[in-house]
Amino acid sequence: MPMDINCDMGESFGAFRVGNDQEILRYVTSINIACGFHAGDPMIMRQTVRHAITNNVKIGAHPGYPDLQGFGRRNMEFTPEEIYNMMIYQVGALKAFVDIEGGELHHVKPHGALYNQSANDAVKAQAVIDAVYDLGPNLILYCLSGSLIAKMAKDKGLAVYEEAFSDRNYNDDGTLVSRSFDNALIEGEDAMLEHVSRIILSNEVMTVQNKVIKLNAQTLCIHGDGGHALEFAKKISKLNK
């Protein structure tokens, strides 16, 4: 059975443009739409929702830290209440656009530093989980494969898609290599295809320490802001049939 292929989208705002969203939509099965904190704005949010519905692609919210300058990728410290409230605020805004366009919100995937910091921090994870559950217990949480948040969300009763990444390298413990390191990203097509083939066919990855580790992934992410995102999406779509 083909794996769900998701892509982060709607990350343009104002005069600033990111990615090839409309083209990539043809090759993915779900998307995660920026909600205005790390990227995106009301015009882009509604436009992206419309395009997703037209292409019959599942819609997810992609809430992040309030960090436009750092694209939501800088670690920040907030209280659990602050994390909960910023999740409700962002997902609620996107859901309003989905509702008025006649669509359905399928999932929530935290963005960037919020995603990584909540993956294995029980306090932050609980704030994220509680927000998603209160927004709708039928929503699916997209989160890092093998992470603490995945286990906690399942214990809460949320449906979970554990996620692998098509364009990111891994450490032996299953975490992503930090973007502060030169080897964080997989940028060559051949290397990407080898990496993705392992994930799709065997649910495993080769780490940067040259160790094969198992994953339990139901969805595979393509970063829409990546320089090779469209080309990767085309290749992955063919590989995933």
| Cα-only R_g, the chain | 16
Half-sphere exposure of 219 (CA within 13 A, CB side): 27
B/e letters for 134-151, b = 16+ CB within 10 Å, e = fewer, are ebeeebbbbbbbbbbbbe
Range of the domain at 61: 4-239
Torsion of CA 51, 55, 61, 67, to 10 degrees: -50
Structural domain count, the chain: 1
Q: CATH code at 131?
A: 3.20.20.370
The region that residue 112 occupies, defined by phi over 0 for left and psi between -120 and 50 for alpha, beta otherwise, is left
Predicted pLDDT of residue 12? 86
If one counts every other C-beta atom within 10 angstroms of the C-beta of residue 69, the result is 7
Predicted pLDDT of residue 228? 82
pLDDT along the chain (241 residues), means of 10: 91 83 94 97 97 97 96 95 98 98 98 96 98 97 97 97 94 92 89 93 93 94 85 89 78
Predicted pLDDT of residue 232? 87
Predicted pLDDT of residue 187? 82
Q: Report residue 57 as tokens.
A: 């692609």
